[in-house]
Every structure is written in structure tokens, then in C-alpha cells.
Amino acid sequence: MRIFKIYIVFLFLQFVSYSSIGQQLTISGTVIDGHTKEPVGWASVYFANSRYGQSTDSAGKFTFVINDFKDDTLKVSFIGFEIFKIPLTIEENNKVLNIQLERGSAKGEVVIKAKWNRGLYLWNKIMSKKKQYNRYDLDNFGYEAYNKLEIDIKNFNADKARKNFLLKNFSFVFDNIDSSSEAVPFLPAYLIESLSDYAYQSKPLKFYENIKASKTIGFDNQSFSKLLGVMNQNVSIYSNFVNVMDKDFISPFNDNADNFYIFTVPDTQVVNGKKLYHFVFNPKRAGQNAFSGDAWVTEQTYQITRVSLYLGKDANINYIDRISIFQEYIPLNDSIIFLNRDKFFADFNVLGKNSLTLIGRKTTSYKDIVINSDSLTNAFSDQKIEEVVKTVEGVTQKSDSAWGEMRHDTLSANEKTIYATIDKLLEMPKFQKFQTNVKFLTGGYRNIGKLEIGPWFNWISGNQWEGTRFRFDLGTNKKLMKDIYLHGYLAYGTRDKKFKGLAEGFWLIKRAPNRTRLHLAYQNDVDIGISQVGEVSQDNIFSLAVRKPNVNRKFLSTKDLSVELFNEYGGGFSTEWFVSYRQYNPLLNLPPASNFTVNTGTPLTNFELAVKLRFAYLERFIETDYNRYTVSTKYPIVELMLAKGIAGVFSSAYNYTKYSLTIKDFVKLSPFGTLNYKIDAGKIHGILPFTNLENHPGNDLFYYGRNVYNLMTSFEYLSDQYAGVHLEHNIGSGLFRFIPFTRKLKWRQFWTIKALWGSLSSANNSINYVLDTASNKIPAFKSLNGRTYLEMGTGIDNIFKIFRLDFVWRLSPSSSYAGTRSQFGIFGSFQIQF
């Protein structure tokens, strides 16, 4: 018994001894960027309370085997990221960790200042090789590009969604939530793929892209597919500016980047026998359009092997929590590197910190790369214009098996789930109904069988002449006729007690490659004074809230029968021919038709032939079933209008000739913002009433108009020869970035100038100089008579991310001529912009 007790004591002491020594722990893992999911090589991985530590390899991997392990905290640090911490016990033995680092500054980071700036030295070396390594300085290059864009939803509460009466019918979707790939669970929502051949030539400058396949479930639109190619998504780090969400940010390899960035070299590594410098860059000043990030650069050759660019919440971009750009380069030979793959990740947050967040993850891979090729030179010799983007027939109709062969890599489990879920949703009648209701509320239109109603916001409005105005639109859709669109509306005013309306038809004779369209229309309605493209119509319910008070609004009714023929000829050239017959009848605050005597025909009635010549080089469009809308062009748009009025045709009364020219453009002035300009001029030959002269567009609303004179009212000034200039310079954050409060609010600065010179011949002045019927003291119209009309403005843009406030001053004419009422105005407007 005594021996047994001694043996028990011995075992206990042995157990205590082993416990005090510790046990073996084997732990391994991978360190990745939490946004781009790229491995973070050479990150420091160490235990807080012991001597154990190491760096990750180039693939971000690490392994520890510790024989006498005691409970400790594992830390991971890398410059530009927050320190990651995780407590470990012996229970985590043999565990494989997936560590995701988040961008930010590590607390306690030490900045070492030296007399010799190693980072600036390395930047100068990189810049000395810029022309050699920038692919856009090659004679030509080409490749096949595979684009993939995944859209996920973060901060999604599946339990609440299942109880929501709008979403509960689609609860099976919520089973796809991924709770393991990232720290915060997310719901994979949508996937877009495209495959294209792309080629570039530097002299003369030419681009070519052929979209071979595009997978956009639910969107069978070739114009949309063109925008998914690489033509509009190329990011070149060697360029002076990197375009992000249509805003130019200063590249760390801009020719003058040393004025905007702080450069450091905190580390060097040797990989496959080659020494690499860790090149880190950060903005010098808060609020600048500049990136944080890093790159790995080879010794002696100074080639960039990989680079990461990062924009956080402080960047002056709306609805974005963070943006990450990653690019990896491979050597094609001893002197040329080329892009191998890139990633663009963005977190979109519209409603606030804890609201739904959309995560866009775009990845692009490149293969079959050719450079300085004679075959490309020969191919470009037949291309007459700078840029050509084509889509193959059936670009959106490729089978799943065809996609399996075309993809550069295989789909992940999440990506496969997305396709299966969307296919199921699109087949559900309840989802189709939900989709229809959302489109109706946001777009205004609704399809009912083969017909279309809307827009709903035009159903009710009001004005001084008509009182409450009711309007109902009815049109056809592509289910009835693919290339012919019929539309009309009927309106009724409770005060004038009259019906008005429109009947029109579009015939798309040819859609591609060059469009031909025929338009016939008859309209009998009250002219409500807004005809400028992009301006707010007064024929909708919202205009009631922003109408200027104490303005004698002027009304006339118009009967207009017109025929238009539009033709494209390629290269940006198009013509539009017009034949129109119009009858005007002044209704309120305008001279009556009886004041205008004519030798033939009916007063205020004209027959007109016109042609508009338009040049918009490399203009891009988004097409709908019948219409298309300009997205962008890199060059000015020029429009020349010629019109001839002929008396004696269907009781027309006037002979005249009109000429007008308009030039407009959107110019990037990086890093000083953007400039919109419009120059127009015109000349009218003939003795004519106000209805056929140039009625300079005024604004009867408190809603700011970009294409009108905001301190001028409608029908205020007449001219038969004129010239005007509109300038708007959007500076960006401007002075607001120097004030922490306004920098945080992301306010933006701008200024505007609108100038007009006009005159009226003595003959036209004589027949239109009629005393105002209300006051019997002043003319109904004014002419500038060689004076300058000038209004200037500035204000605050991006208030709450959607509102803009304009303060506008009229500097001339003087108040003695133009009156004192419209010398200053405050206008509001809103727009959705990044």
C-alpha cells in the first residue's frame, strides 16, 4: 500500500512537471488582404508573449511548431494594415487559420526620418523605366481578356427578410449566405461574365475590341455588353491618372507624383533569387484624390511585379466604403512586362453604416498576349476610325458548355450558386411581378400585355392656364412590334376645360451598324416652356413644388404636325431631316395672333423644312427597345441646324431662313476637376413674330437648369442673331478639403458662367414691340440689342450626396434695363453621382 501511494505521488509530480513545461502546438495558416483576397507576402506573424515569430512566404503562408507552448496571442502585422490579433490555446493544435487583414494604420507605427529618402530614390528609378514598361508606349499589343463581375450583399439579415411581406416568397435565396469566406457573412447576388479580343496601336492611335461572349442573365442587351468589355475598364498604373468611378485619381506613378505622395521602402525580400523592394505610398495631404498602397519592385530592372491601390472612406467618392485595385505583372522577355491579371473590388453603401452593402468584385485575366506584332499592324491598317467595338452575333446566347470551354478559370461554388438562384428567380411569377412593380415605381413605366402606360409622374400637374392638369400616356412595346413604337397621350385641364394630346410613331428602319429612324407626330397642346434636353419638364407633379412665385408665366397653344428622318453614316456623322407645319395661338400674357398681320396665309402659322447635321466622334450609347441614350464621347459634339420657312403651304405665312451652330463637350482637367462647356450661335433672316424668332430659354422654376439662363424667364428675350457660352467648372473637393468638417461631408465646389449676346433687327423689333397687356407700360418682350447678358454662380455640390445648391448673380444687363427682381437667385437640384 505504501509503495502504491508513492507511485501515485510520482505520477502527480510528473503530470505537474509536464504541465509546467507546456505541450507541442502546430499551427499554420494563410494571410490575405481582406478586400481583394490576395495573399499578403512577408507579413510579420508573431506571438505576443514569447520569442516566436516569422514572416509569411510570397504566398502568404506560415507554419509554427512550438514544443513548450503556453496560451498566447498570435499577432499579424503588415504596413498599411491594421494589426490582426487572435488568442490561441493548446486546443487550437493543428488548426489552419485564414487570416484576413483590413486596411488601416497600425497603432504605434514608428515613422523613421532619414536624411536620404530611400522611397523617393526608388520612385525616381521606377519612373526612369516608365516608358519602357508602360504597355501603352508599345507599338501595339493584343490579348484575350476574360472579365468576371460578382455582386454580393453584406449586412443582410436573413431572419428579417424571411418575415418581410415583399421578400418572404423568395426565402430560398437566403440559404446561399456565405458565412465562412469572410469575417462578415454575405449573400452572393449576381454574376456577369464577358470574353473579348482586344488590341491597341499607339501610332496612329487605334483601339479594337470584339466581344465574343457576354453572360448577363436577365439583360439581353448588346449595347450593355459592349460596356462590359475591357475597353472601358482598363487601368494602367503607369498612366498619370487612374480613373475610378468616372473620377480621375492621381497615380503613384504620375510624372509629378512626388508632389502628392509620401514614398517609403520598409522592407526587401529575395524571391527565386531576385531581390524585391517593398515600395509603399500614401497621400501627403488628407482629402487629395490619391491612393494608399504598395508595390513590389525588382532590383536593377525596377519592374513592378504586383501593385495594390486602396481608397478608403475619406476618398471623395459617394456611396463607397472602400475600393481596392490589384494588378499582377509577368515578364514577356528580359525588357518587357505585361499585365497578367487584375482585380477591382468596391464596397457600395448607400444608406448608412449598418445598412445593406453591395460588394462588387471584378476580376480580369489575360492570355494569348502579343506585342509589337506585324499582324496587328496589318489588321489596324483597314480600321478607318480610332475606336471600334463589336459584338459577335448571339453574344448573350452562349450555352453553358461553351462557357465552360471559354473561361480562363472555373467558377467557384458561390458563382455556380448565383446562376442557379437567378435562373430559378426569373422563372417565378411572383418575382416577375415584384420586378415589374419596382421598375414602375423607379422608371415610371409599366407594361400591360402588348401595351405600355406611364410615366406615372406626368399623370397630374398644374399651371395658371389649365388649372389642375391630368394626363394619361399609352404606348406599345416590343411584344406587339419589334421595330415600330406607337405612343400617345391625352391631357385635360380643369380651368380651361379643354382636351389636348399627342400621337406619334417611331419606325426603326435599321438598327445596326448605322441607325435609320422615321418619326411621325401630331401634337395639340399648351406650350409649357421647357424643351431643353436634360431639363426638368413642368408637365409633372414634382414641378409644382419648385415653381417661382410672382412670375407672369406665358402660355400659348401649339398644333404641330411633323415628320423626321434620322440617318447615321458612320464615323460619328448623322443627319436628321424635318418637315413640320405649326400653328400657334397665344393664350396668356402674350400678344394675340390678331396683332400680327400677314399678306398670305394665317398669322403665327409656318411650314418649315430643316436639316440637322451632327458629328459626335466615338459616341457611346445604351440602347433600350426603341431609344438610345448617350453615355459618353471623348470629343466635342458639333451640331449644325439649317431651316427654311416657306409661305403659302397649308396656310403658312412666313418665308425665312435659319442657321444655328452648337458645340459642346465634357473635358477632364485632372487634377483640377472637369469642365462642361457649350457654345452656340444663330442667325435668322426674315421678318417674323416672336414664335419664329429665338426665344432664349429662361427658367420659371427654383430648380437649377444647366442649359437655360436661370435668372431669365421664358419668352423674356428675343433675338434674330445671337451667340452664347455656358461654362461649368466642377473643381471637386476644392477648398472644402482644407476644412475637416466639410471634408468629412464630401462637399464639392464649382463655378458657372453663362453669357449671351443677342440683337433684334429694327423690322422684327417693330412687329414684336407690343405693350404688355397686364401693365400696359412695358414691352411683352425685350431684346439685348448688343448688350451682354451675363450670370455667374457658385455653390455647394454633393450635399447629402445628392443635392446641389446654386447661388447665381446676374451681372448684366444693368437693373435699369433688365429690372431689379432677378439680380440674384438661389436654386436647388439633385443628381445621383459618384
Q: For the segment 470-505, what is each residue's pLDDT rounded down to a tens digit?
A: 999 999 999 999 999 999 999 999 999 999 999 999
d(CA 238, CA 227): 23
How far apart, in whole angstroms, are the C-alpha atoms of residue 566 and residue 517? 5
Contacts of 819 (CB under 8 A, 6+ apart): none
What is the Cα–Cα distance from 130 to 831, expressed in whole angstroms? 39
**Predicted pLDDT at 773:** 46
The candidate with the shortest Cα–Cα distance to 421, out of 667, 125, 150, is 150
Residue 3 predicted with pLDDT over 80 = no
Would you say residue 590 has pLDDT above 50?
yes
- For 760-777, write each residue's pLDDT tens digit: 999 998 888 755 444 444
Categorize the per-residue pLDDT at 231 as very low, low, confident or very high, splitting at 50, 70 and 90: very low
* The predicted structure's pLDDT at residue 626: 86
Across 605-631, average pLDDT = 89
Amino acid letter for position 206: K
Burial degree of 261 (CB within 10 A; 0-12, 13-18, 19+): buried
Q: Which of 604, 527, 589 is nearest to 553 (CA)?
A: 589
Mean pLDDT of 236-263: 88
**pLDDT at res. 644:** 96
Which residue would you say has higher pLDDT here, 42 or 122?
A: 122
> Is residue 84 a contact partner of residue 76, using CB atoms and an 8 Å limit?
yes
Query: 775 by DSSP, 3-state: which?
Result: coil
The predicted pLDDT at position 232 comes to 53
Q: How far is CA 257 from CA 125, 238, 674, 715, in A?
A: 13, 11, 20, 51
Q: Give the pLDDT mean for 268-278.
A: 84
d(CA 43, CA 62): 10
Q: Over 90: is that where the pLDDT of 745 sits?
A: no
Grade residue 112 by pLDDT with cuts at 50, 70 and 90. low
| pLDDT of res. 535 | 45
Place 16 in a pLDDT band, splitting at 50, 70 and 90: very low
Query: pLDDT at position 566, please?
Result: 96
- Give the model's pLDDT for residue 173: 65
Question: Per residue in 313-346, pLDDT tens?
Answer: 777 887 778 888 899 998 888 788 898 988 888 8
Entry pTM: 0.81
Q: Do residues 231 and 225 make contact, with C-beta atoms less than 8 angstroms apart?
A: no
CB of 543 closer than 8 Å to CB of 537: yes
- Mind listing the pLDDT tens digit for each residue in 414-453? 788 887 777 777 777 777 777 788 888 888 889 999 999 9
Read off the pLDDT of residues 125-151 as tens digits, 9 standing for 90 and up. 999 988 888 898 889 999 999 988 888
The DSSP result for 651-711, as a single string, is: T----EEEEEEEEEEEEE-TTS-EEEEEEEEEEEES---GGGSEE--B--BSB--TTSBTT
Instruction: Please report, rounded to a whole number, the percentage of residues in the chain having pLDDT higher than 70.
Output: 85
First to last CA, the chain: 85
Question: Among the listed ranges 169-183, 265-279, 509-523, 647-661, which one has the minimum average pLDDT value?
Answer: 169-183
d(CA 410, CA 402): 13
Closest CA to 825 of 707, 712, 677, 697: 712
Mean pLDDT estimate for the chain: 83
Q: Strand 206-215 and strand 387-391: pairing?
A: parallel
136/140 Cα distance (integer angstroms): 8
Give pLDDT tens digits for 339-394.
898 888 888 877 666 677 778 888 899 999 999 999 999 988 888 888 888 888 88
Q: Look at residue 189 and tell me whether its pLDDT is greater than 80.
A: no
Distance from C-alpha of 194 to C-alpha of 204, rounded to nearest angstrom: 28
Residue, of 56 and 579, whose pLDDT is higher = 579
**pLDDT the model gives residue 777:** 46
Determine the average pLDDT of the residues in 241-252.
85
How many Å apart are CA 498 and CA 501, to the nearest integer?
10
Looking at residue 438, the DSSP 8-state letter turns out to be: H
Q: Please say if the pLDDT value at position 539 is more than 70.
A: no
The amino acid at residue 478 is: K
Beta-bridge partners for 586: 556
What does the pLDDT average to over 380-409?
85
Question: Residue 28: in which H helix or E strand, if any?
Answer: strand 23-33
391 burial via Cβ count (<10 Å: 0-12, 13-18, 19+): buried
pLDDT band at 167 (very low <50, low <70, confident <90, very high): low
Our separate counts of H helices and E strands in the chain read: 12, 42
Q: Got the DSSP string for 222-246?
A: HHHHHHTSSTTT---TTSSEEEETT
